[in-house]
Structure 1
Amino acid sequence: MKLKGVRKSRNIEDRRRSGGGGKAGIGGVGLLVVLAIGYFAGIDVTPLLQGLPQEQGTPRELSAEEQQAAEFSARVLATTEEVWDRLLPEQLELEYQPPVLVLFSGQTSSPCGGASGATGPFYCPADQKAYLDTEFFATLSRQLGAKGDFAAAYVIAHEVAHHVQNELGILGEVNQRRQAVGQTEANALTVRLELQADCLSGVWASKVKGLLEPGDLKEALNAARKIGDDHLQSRAGRVPQPHTFTHGTSDQRESWFARGYQSGDVHSCDTFGARNL
């Protein structure tokens, strides 16, 4: 992704210098792999983490890699701001208020609960902030097999898409519906929510075509496949169980991202009205 010359968003809250409260003693990438797979595959990894020693975070200098990740995130976030600031008024006659992206290391807090690698990148509607441990980029590339800078950009765009859903009132409505049904039905609603965010990410990607390099689109589509529920449950040694899915299958995630990319239209992302996903 050609980000040289792209402005850096000011809507970045970097908490990484404080250490974020420490990491579980198994450390670094190994911890993130366990937690990321647990999050995406719907597996309870608590037994693996209980009893592990915690290191208290202390003020520290950021590594060159961490600084690069922050600059990358700030520039990608800026592209989402420009796209949605234009698209929401054009397509839905709504004004866009961009979210803040919180960068943290290990653990941090949010109004939606404690944030760590266990949650994965996530969006909290209570404070309208997206949360990202930038080490997740390494996990995505080295451990989950989703390589490339545009795969990492897709992760940010996906969380921003949840903010778009919040701006449209979709998150609140889905949350109310989830509370009125059983777990299986609630999971099915969550899948539709996540696939819609994938589609909206594709819409964003269609509007930054001028920044794409050869292979970028393939990187995003591959990332969508690598974090499909069926793929991650299989990777974790489990037989995929659709009733536990919360993000959609690899085919569904890739398909809805592609749909948004091909149409460039928010209206094409109505996963809740779709009979077949």
Structure 2
Amino acid sequence: MKWEGNRESGNVEDRRGSGARLGGRSIGIGTIVIALLGSYFLGINPMTIIGLLSGGQVQTQQAPIQETPADDQMARFVRTVLADTEDTWGTIFRENGGTYQQPRLVLFTGRTPTACGTGDTAAGPFYCPGDQKIYIDLAFYQTMRERFQVASDFAQAYVIAHEVGHHVQHITGIMDKVDQVRRSGTEKQANAMSVRVELQADCFAGVWAHHADRARGILEQGDVESALKAASAIGDDALQKQSQGYVVPDSFTHGTSEQRVRWFKQGIESGDLNTCNTFAARTL
């Protein structure tokens, strides 16, 4: 992915350095992955799992930001990708007679306060509609490399673009309508609706990539394949097979690997928001 030298966004808050630590020790990636899986499939607070596995109590500790060269480059990458989404969605909204409200992105370590409650590294990157902010701990990209063998810049950009897709859903009113339906249905119905929300965000990420490449030529050989690999690796079925050896379709909240790949491809190939209406699709 070609990103060096492109515009960097000013909508980034750097809260790194005030994260969660256990008994004076840093939380390891392995612990975070286990806590994420426990939270994802069992509904257990990830910080509870981290505390049990580490034999200590979680404490929030303030410390000055100490960036390594790799951290600094990754922060620049995140700011550049966010800027690209701002430019792309700004153009798309203008062409459709609207104005794009840019989200903010928060870099943090461990835990951080959000309008949606305390944000945890263990939860992975997420979007909070309450404050219209995207939250990400850069350690997640290390997890992508080590656990999923996905390390390309474009695959990492896909993660940000997916969360920006949720922001688009929020400011266009899609999220509010979905929440109303989820509150009135069963858990199974709510999960099914969540799948459609996530797949549409995948499609929106593809729409961004389509237009960004046409405008600025950001894609290089192998980029699309790497993003598809990332989408496949984080499908509900793939994660459940990896963690428990079998799948429970009714518990899916993000979609299968095949579905996530299909909807990302739909967006990047068409570049048309109208093709991303997962809520009207008979089959996903």
TM band (smaller chain): over 0.9
Distance 1:232 1:43 in 2: 13
Deviation, structure 1 residue 137: 0.6
Q: 2:156 is matched with which residue? A: 152
Q: 1:187 is matched with which residue? A: 191
Q: 2:68 is matched with which residue? A: 63
Q: 1:85 is matched with which residue? A: 90
8 Å contact 1:23–1:106 — kept in the other structure?
no
Distance 1:170 1:190 in 2: 12
**Is 2:144 the partner of 1:140?**
yes
Which AA in structure 1 matches 2:267? G
Distance 1:215 1:202 in 2: 15
Which of 243, 259, 275 is the aligned partner of 2:266?
A: 259
Pairing of 1:98-247 with structure 2 (within 5 A)? 98-209=102-213, 210-247=217-254
Which AA in structure 1 matches 2:234? I
8 Å contact 2:20–2:27 — kept in the other structure?
no
Q: Which has the higher contact order (CA 8 A, sep 6+)?
A: 1
Distance 1:84 1:36 in 2: 31
**Is 2:26 the partner of 1:22?**
no
Query: SS state of the match for residue 13, structure 1?
Result: strand
- With over 3 angstroms needed to count, the CA separation of the structure-2 counterparts of 1:271 and 1:225, relative to structure 1, is same
Q: 1:6 is matched with which residue? A: 6
Deviation, structure 1 residue 36: 3.7
Deviation, structure 1 residue 126: 0.6
TM-score under structure 1 normalisation?
A: 0.93
Cα-to-partner distance string for 1:4-58 (whole Å, 9 max, x where unaligned): 12111000001003x224368572211232234445x534454633444235423
Which AA in structure 1 matches 2:171? E
Note the aligned Cα RMSD (angstroms): 1.7
- With over 3 angstroms needed to count, the CA separation of the structure-2 counterparts of 1:56 and 1:127, relative to structure 1, is closer
Distance 1:249 1:125 in 2: 24
Identity %: 44
Distance 1:68 1:32 in 2: 23
Query: SS state of the match for residue 140, structure 1?
Result: helix
- With over 3 angstroms needed to count, the CA separation of the structure-2 counterparts of 1:120 and 1:139, relative to structure 1, is same
Deviation, structure 1 residue 94: 1.8
Q: 2:77 is matched with which residue? A: 72
- With over 3 angstroms needed to count, the CA separation of the structure-2 counterparts of 1:189 and 1:195, relative to structure 1, is same
The gaps in structure 1 that reach 5 residues or longer are: none
The gaps in structure 2 that reach 5 residues or longer are: none
